[in-house]
Structure 1
C-alpha cells in the first residue's frame, strides 16, 4: 500500500512538470479552429492574388461557410500565364502554432465541382520572408502539419493546370504561440559514429536563416537518443547535438529573438543525459539579455545539479530572474563529449505585452496573465484528483484485506470439511514438541499413501501455511508447542527468510525461520569491490527502488581468483550487471536489498546467476552480478517467438514486477509460486527432491510451449489450490497441464505426467529424467 502511494506521488511530480512545460504548446491538443469557418477571422484579414469574379473573392474561401452572397468558395483567375503562383492568404494578426489545415472545393448550392487536387503551403512570421512547408520526409502536401509551423501569415497555393478553374475553402487549426519566439540561431548539428551506426543531430525542420525548427516543434526526445517518436526516422532525429571537439571555448552559443520586450521568468531546456555514450546535460548556462541594441553586461549564470547515475533525459529549468529583454543569448558549456537538446521553451510574464498589435477576439487567444491563472487552476485540480485517487486506493485496499480474510476463512472451512470426509479414514496419535508435557488428539484424514519413514504429519506442517492454520481448530486438534514455550509452529509469514537446507539422511528439506541481522560486509564469502573500477555503459532497466546498469568491471577476474592471476598479464574488463539501490529508498527496501545480497552470496551453481561482489561501504548500495546477455529462461524463450524487434530486459526489479502474477500471497508477507509447487508442498508444507521433480515437470512444460502462457492459466489462484486438494483426495478429479502441441507423446506421457504423480515415491529421480531426455534426443 505504501509502495503504491509512493509510486503515485512519484508520478505526480512528473505530471506537474509536464503540465508546467507544456503550458506554451502541446501539438496533441493544440488543434482548435482559428476562425475561418467560425467568423473570428475578419474579411479584411483574408486576401488573394486574384479572383475569377467578385462572387469568388477571397472572403468566400471559408471552410463549411456559405452566406448565399457568393459562389461558395475562392476561385482565382487561372487564365493568366503565371497561374501557378496564385494563392489565398490568411492573416492571423499574431503568431500561432499551426498543427492542421482543412480544405474543400466550391459549394455553389451543391453544383460546384471545382476543387484543388493538390496545393502547397507557404508561411511567414513577419509578412516579408516566406517559407515553403514540407513534412519531415520532404513532401509538400498534407492536412496534418507534421512538423507544425509557427506563423502569422499562411498562404494556400493550388497546384493545377492554369487552364482549369480551381476553387478552395480553407480552415487553420492550432493555438496562439505564447512564447513570442520569432527565431533562433544555433550552430549546425554534428554527426556521431556509434558502434558503426551513423547518428545525425542536425536540425532537420529548421525553416531558414534566423528561423525556427526542431527545438520548438513541441516534441521531446526519448531517453535513448538512438530512437525517435516518429516512425521510420534516422537515429538521433529528435535531438540537435554537438561534439565539444569542434568548440575550443567549451560552449555552444545560441541566440533567441522575440516579437517584443518581455519579462522572462525562466527557460526550460530538454537535454539527453545518456552519459554511458558520452552524452550529458550542460555543465553551466550563461545567458545575456538585450532590450535595445546592446547586450547587458551582467549575464545570468546557472549550474544544474550533477547527475552521475540516471540516464533519463529531462527538462532543466534555467531561472532568468524576471528580467526584461527582446533577445537572449545563451552559452551552454559542455560537461562531456556530447551535448544534445530536443526542445527549448520560455516562460514570460505579461508586464510588457505588445500594444502595437491589436488581436481580434479569438476563442483560442489568451494573454499570459490569464494563462497563468488557468495553469494554476489546472494544477490545483490535478492535485485534488490525485489526492482523491490515493484516498480511494487506500480505502479499497482496506476493504480488500477485510474481504480477503473473510474469503480465506471460508476457503479454510471448505478445505477442512473436505479433508475430513469419512472415506477410508485412519487415526493417528502425535506427541507434543514441548519437553514439559504432551497432549493427544484424534483426527480423521484420507490416506495419502502408506506411511513411510520420512512422512510428516499434516497437523504439524499444515500450520506453517497461514492459509490453512485455522483448519486444525476445525479438525479438533490441540495446538503443539515448540520447545521454549512459544505457541504453535512458525509459518512462512513469521520468518524473515526461509532457509532451505538439504537433510543428508532423509532427503527432505527443513523449513527453518532465520532471524538474520543486516548485512555489514563482514561475510567472508562476499568482498567489497572498488567502486571506482566500475565503468557504467548502459542502463538496462529500472525498478521501484533502484536501477540496473551494464558496466565494465576492471580487474574483476583477479579480484575473484587472486591465486590464478599472472604477473604481467592484464585481463580485459568484464561485463557485469550492477544493481543499485537509490539513496532515498525506504528502510524496508534497504533491508530487503541487504538480505538479497546475503542469500545470493550463498548460491554457487553454474545454472544460477552468480553474485560476484558488492559495494556497500557507501551509498548507493550496489550488488555486482554476472551479466545475462540473453535474459532469464522466460525471456530467452519469449525471444525465440519474437525475434523481430524484441528487447530483452535484465533488470531484476522489473522482472519482479513482470513475474508478480506467478506468485500467490498468503496472509502476512509470504508469497508462494503455487503453479509450480507440488500438492504436498502447498497443503502439507513438505519440500523434498520429489517436489523439486514436480516443479521441473512444470518448467519443462513451459519450455515446450515457449512460455506462451502461464501454467494453469485457465485457473485462478484459489482454483489451483483447490486442484491440489483433488490430488490429496485422489478421486480422479485432478487437473493436469495439457500436452504442448509440439511435444512428443512419450515425453508428455512418460516424463511430464510421471513428474506429477500423486505418490511422491513414484516420481522419477533427476538421474532418470536425464536419461529419458537423452533417449528422446537420440
Structure 2
C-alpha cells in the first residue's frame, strides 16, 4: 500500500504487518543482481551467442561474456531488441540501474540511451514516459559504471523490457537491475472520468491524469496513473512538486457542472478477490477556491461476476476551517470483492484527488522493507518475507481436498462435462482472438508489411493520443482459429494474397484487403473510413467551404466531448451568406440557424490537427440530402472549428423514444405519435444516405439511430458524432479498455475478423431499422450482456443455428422483417446492397 506520508505500521491481530510506502522508501533491488530473479524469468529478443544470453544481463555480474548483447540487425529502423524480466507478480518499480559490458577489459559495449516498456498482464505493453512525455532514458557512458535512474512516474508492472536505442555507431550490451517493492494493493486498474480544466483568474489549471497508462478516449479505462503514483498533492493545488510541470499537476479533478448526478464514479479492479478493510483517499480542501473533500461516498462490491445490491455509504466530517489537503479514511467493513465501484459526491464546485489506496487482509506475503537510505540501493537492502509456512500447509491441504472432489465429479459427469468444456474452449479461443484483433495500435506504431512475425505482445498503449486503427498484423489475415476451419482455410489464403482491386465486397474494400485512411474524430469517434485512393485525390485540393466569423456563433449546449475536441450546439447568424449556391436553409432572412460545431482543442497534438483537416476535406465534399452537410469552418485561429448542420428535433433515438405508435395506448397517455408510414419514410431516407456513401466506397462503421438527426417533416440526415455523447456511452463496449466499439450494431465479421465493409454497414442498417420500428424503447439485444453479445457473434461464425436474432417488432410487417433478416445474413455477399434496400423501402412507401 502506498501513502505519501512517512512510514507507518499497523499491527493487526493474527495478520501480518502492513507497511505504507512512498516512492522514497520503495527502492529495494528486486533480484537481478541478488539472484532472486531466476534465469527462466529473464528473456530477450535475440543474442550474439549463448554466452551473451539474457540470463547474463544481471547488474554487477561477470558470468558468461559479461552481459546480454542483442544480435544487431542490418537496418536501424528494424531494431526492436529488448531484455525482458518477469517478476512473477505486480511490483511498484521506482528506479532502474544499467551497466555495460567490460568482460575483464576485453569488452567495451554499453547502451548510451534506452527505453522501457512494461506490462501487467503480458499482452498489453506500455511505453514508459517521464512527466514531460519523454521516452528515452540516458544510459551509460562507459562499460564499468552503474547508472541509476529514477522512474518519475514510477510504474506498476509484472513484466519489464529494457530496449536499447541502437544507432550503429557502436555495439550495445546491457546489465540491468530493477528497484522497488511488491505491489500489495492488488489494484490493477481504475476507470474514471477524464480530469478537467479550471480557469483561475485567467490561469488554466490542468487537472488531468497526465501519466495514466490506459485508454483515454471518453474516459480513463484499464490503466493506472497519478492516483497510484505514491505522491500526494500539496495543500495549494496550483503549485506542484519539483517536476517542472503545469499548475494542478498533482491532482485529478472534476467540476460538478459536468456531472448532473452530483457524483464522480470510479471503478477499481483488483488482481483477485480480497477482504477489504479501508480505502484512503487523499483530497484537496481549499474551500476558499471552491474545492472540498467529497461530501459522501457510496461503494458497491463485486465478488464474482455480479455486483452486490447493497452498497456501503460513508460521509466524512466537512472541514471549513483547515484548508490543508488530507487523507479521508473510509471503512470497507471487510467486504470480499475483486472490484469496487465508488461514487464520490460533490460538496462544492470542485473535487480533487491525488492518491487512492486500499488495505486488504489477503496479502499474506507482505514485505517489510529496511528504512530508506540516503545513497543508492545495494544488495545489502534485502526483502524479508513473513513466515507463513503453517498457513501454506493448511491451504495446500484444502486445495488437495478440493482437487480430489473435482476429480470425482469430472469422472461421474465425464461425457456431459467434456462436451460443454469443448464448447467453452471454442468460445474462449474466439474471445482471445477477438481481443487480439481489436487491440489498438498507438500513435507510435509503425505497420511493416514485411514483418509478419510481429506479435500481439509488441502492441503498446499511447495515452497521449489513442487511435482506433485496425490496420495491423492481426488484421492482415483472419485469426488462427478461423484458418483452422475447413470452410475458411481457402478463403484466408485468398484474402491474404488478393490485391484491393480483386477482392472488393459490394465495391467497398474492407480493412483486411485494402489501405484505408482511418481518421480520429475530434471527439474520439472515427469519421467515415475512406479508401486511400479517395484520400489521395482529396489531398491536393483546398477546403471547399468558407471561413465563418466566430462572433456570429452563439453557444447553446455541449453535445459531446473527447480527448482532443468537443461538439457544441450553437446558433449561427447570417449563415446563408457563407453557403454554396446549391444549398439553402429553410429559414427567413435574419433568422438564426441551429448548427453543430466540432471544435479541436488548442492543445491537440500534430496528428490530431492533421486528422481534423483531413476530416474537413472529406466532409466538404459529401453532398447528399440525407447526409449532414459541412457548412463552414473557423480556421483563422485556434481553436479550429468545423460547422455542420444540426436538425431541430435532435437525434432519431431521442426523438422516437419521446413518441409512441398510433393506437389506444397513445390516446390514453396523450403522448405524441408517429405513424408507421412516417417510420418507413425515415428508414427510406437513411437507406438513401447510405446508398450515397456506399457509392463513394465510404464505410460509416457506426450507423445507428443515435447518429441520425431529425428535421422538419421527418427529414433524416446521417451524422457521425454519437460516440462522443455521454448519453450513449452504454452503447459502446471496450475491448480490454482500448477499442471502443458499438458491438450491438456490428456484424459478426467486424467483431471477430476486423472486416468493415459496405456489407457490415448493411448489417448495422438492419439493427437501425429494428430500433426505428421499436421506437428505440430498448437497446438491441437488451436481454444479453456485452459478453453474451460477443459470444452470439461466435454462434454466427460457427453457423450451427444457435445464433440469436433480434425479434420482429410488433409494428413490423413480415416483408420488412424479412429485409432485416437478409441484412443479418451470415454470408456478407448474400446481404442486399443499399441500392436494393432503398428500392424495397421506396416501393413499400408507394404501395
Instruction: Give the alignment's TM-score, normalised by structure 2.
Output: 0.40
RCO greater where, 1 or 2, for CA within 8 Å and sep 6 or more? 2
Structure having the higher Rg: 1
